Amino acid sequence: MPCTNCTAFSIECRIPAPKRKKTTGGTKGHDSQRYAPPALGGTQLTVDSDRGDDDRSPAPSTTPAPAGDSRDKTTVYNSPDGTPSTTVSSAYAAQQVTHNGTYVQFMKPKFARAPIKEAGRVAYLGESSNLSLLVHDRYGSTDTVHYPLPENVRGAKARVNELDNMEIEILHQRGAFLLPPRALCDELVDAFFKWVAPVVPVINKSRFMRQYRDPKNPPSLLLLQAVLLAGSRVCTNPQLMDSSGSTTPAAMTFYKRAKALYDANYEDDRVTIVQSLILMGWYWEGPEDVTKNVFYWSRVAIVVAQGSGMHRSVEGSQLTKSDKRLWKRIWWTLYSRDRSVAVALGRPVAINSEDADVEMLTEEDFIEDEPDRPAEYPPEPVHVHFFINYVKLCEIMGLVLSQQYSVASKYRRTNAIDLTHSDMALADWLQNCPSDVQWDKSHHHFWAALLHSNY
């Protein structure tokens, strides 16, 4: 049953900052996990049974930031009248000089064909960009739009040892480093992959579970909190429920933790960020809110994905085969979410099909084998058939939205041919729908019912 001192379910309500003095106070309570950030030398999930009064109000710590802080400490507002400083530290100036020379590396011929070892660190150069025009004109590599980021550009990786005291305190007050007890955490992850992942197949399950079970190489904390958020929406464990049987308070807790990490730029892997943003849409505060819902977060995810070039074909890129498959699934998930949310809420779509050239998904795109190891979890055929046909149905949704419900369509005469084309497309979709996801009244099947409810 829910703990009266916890935020909706039995979790640790206070956690000390890594490498900072542990505060005292609090009684022994429910066991919960503490995520030790890799950057501070601890990479495993540990158990701590100390519990304070409130997950959102931990005891403040006055220990200074960890040694070796690489973030520039130049005071931004340090003048008496509050005007911004006009000077920077020598370290920051040197960093800017390095960054200014980064784009020169794109001009090197070998750079266009360099292997992309980290899928989350990809630079996208669209054909209309000035730099792309220079590169293509000089070396004729017109088929290349995805480039590996140079090693000297690590982005704004904001691990805990690079955050100042205020940012660390905010993350702790939000409980960003807290995880539920291991048993409950396992149940949430299992519920996610059973009920949520088939609708949004954006995570390589074999890779995620391998990291989830490895205390020395845990998954991204941002992604894990987002997975727990989505899993809490479909998990029926009583520990997640309040007195009325709702899991909304639990989902809100996970949402605040994930959002705090996202706002702090804790994660710099762009693929991980897109995955997490998609899952953060599983929390919606209410119809009056426009910044904490699936419409908002799916569009933020689209912007980040387009910034990395996920809307472009990766067949000719230097990504690994497993990353190519994952990128395709992520893009078509964004596309399907965009169309389905637009239909459900009567909102405009964000993705213009003419701007993307990602090939349609095939069953092979759901294989998660990696070069060094086969997939531990082979794809479920019914889940594969569900999602592929859901994407195809969303394509028809987009056509109907454009022809019948767009603002421009109100000012032009309704064309009977358009209606006929839409009707024929739906009929063709239904006729070619695989048997394992065909709706049959005499035999109820969840995935078939979910697919045909959209039809």
- pLDDT for 248-284, tens place per residue? 999 999 999 999 999 988 888 899 999 999 999 999 8
Domain assignment of residue 2, yes or no: no
Chain centroid to CA 133: how far? 31
Alpha carbon separation from 154 to 6, 51, 87, 159, 163 (Å, rounded): 38, 37, 24, 12, 16
Q: What pairing do the DSSP bridges indicate for beta strands 122-124 and 146-148?
A: antiparallel
Residue that finishes a domain, picked among 349, 379, 409: 379
Task: Give the pLDDT score at 166.
Answer: 84
Average pLDDT over residues 87-112: 61
Are 185 and 292 within one domain? Answer: yes
Which has more pLDDT, 164 or 359?
A: 359
Position 38, amino acid: P
Task: Give the pLDDT score at 455.
Answer: 79
Radius of gyration from C-alpha coordinates of the chain = 24
Domain assignment of residue 7, yes or no: no
CB atoms within 10 A of CB 420: 10
Mean pLDDT, the chain, integer:
76
Task: Give the pLDDT score at 105.
Answer: 55
Are 362 and 339 within one domain? Answer: yes
Which has more pLDDT, 188 or 319?
A: 188
82 contact partners, CB below 8 Å, separation of at least 6: none
pLDDT band (50, 70, 90) for residue 213: very high
In this prediction, what percent of the chain has a pLDDT beyond 70?
Answer: 64
Average pLDDT over residues 322-351: 94
Domain assignment of residue 90, yes or no: no
C-alpha span between 145 and 143 (Å, rounded): 7
Average pLDDT over residues 401-423: 73
Mapping DSSP to helix (H, G, I), strand (E, B) and coil, where does residue 33 land?
A: strand
Q: What is the DSSP letter of 297?
A: H
Average pLDDT over residues 87-110: 62
Are 163 and 143 within one domain? Answer: no
Lookup: tokens for 403: 């022809």
Task: Give the pLDDT score at 351.
Answer: 95
Number of structural domains in the chain? 3
C-alpha span between 22 and 57 (Å, rounded): 15
Are 222 and 273 within one domain? Answer: yes
C-alpha span between 171 and 177 (Å, rounded): 7
Are 419 and 324 within one domain? Answer: no
CB atoms within 10 A of CB 120: 19
Task: Give the pLDDT score at 107.
Answer: 47
Which has more pLDDT, 138 or 10?
A: 138
Segments forming the whole domain that contains residue 400: 396-454
Task: Give the pLDDT score at 41.
Answer: 34
Q: Is the pLDDT of residue 449 over 70?
A: yes
Angle at which helix 270-280 crosses helix 221-232, to 10 degrees, equals 20
pLDDT band (50, 70, 90) for residue 139: very low
Residue that finishes a domain, picked among 354, 379, 404: 379
Q: Which of 358, 347, 356 is nearest to 406 (CA)?
A: 347
Are 305 and 450 within one domain? Answer: no
Are 220 and 288 within one domain? Answer: yes
Are 220 and 322 within one domain? Answer: yes
Are 139 and 182 within one domain? Answer: no
16 in Cβ contact with 160 (< 8 Å):
no
Are 207 and 228 within one domain? Answer: yes
Q: Is the pLDDT of residue 426 over 80?
A: yes
Residue that finishes a domain, picked among 148, 180, 212: 148
C-alpha span between 202 and 272 (Å, rounded): 10
pLDDT band (50, 70, 90) for residue 40: very low
pLDDT band (50, 70, 90) for residue 6: very low
Angle at which helix 294-307 crosses helix 321-345, to 10 degrees, equals 140
Domain assignment of residue 384, yes or no: no
Domain assignment of residue 65, yes or no: no
What burial letters (b/e) apply to 349-375, b meaning 16+ CB within 10 Å?
A: bbbeeeebebeebeeebbebeeeeeeb
Residues in the chain: 455
Domain assignment of residue 261, yes or no: yes
Q: Supply φ then ψ for residue 46, to 5 degrees.
A: -110, 170
Are 339 and 403 within one domain? Answer: no
Q: Which of 40, 1, 44, 447 is nearest to 245 (CA)?
A: 1
C-alpha span between 412 and 408 (Å, rounded): 7
C-alpha span between 231 and 236 (Å, rounded): 10
Q: Is the pLDDT of residue 77 over 50?
A: no
- In this predicted model, what pLDDT tens digit does every residue of 60-69 receive, in sequence order? 444 444 444 4
Q: Supply φ then ψ for residue 53, to 5 degrees.
A: -95, -30
Are 167 and 235 within one domain? Answer: yes
Q: Is the pLDDT of residue 7 over 70?
A: no
Domain assignment of residue 282, yes or no: yes
Lookup: tokens for 92: 């920051």
- In this predicted model, what pLDDT tens digit does every residue of 162-191 receive, in sequence order? 667 888 888 988 899 999 999 999 999 999
Which has more pLDDT, 334 or 416?
A: 334
Domain assignment of residue 283, yes or no: yes
- In this predicted model, what pLDDT tens digit does every residue of 292-312 receive, in sequence order? 788 899 999 999 999 888 999
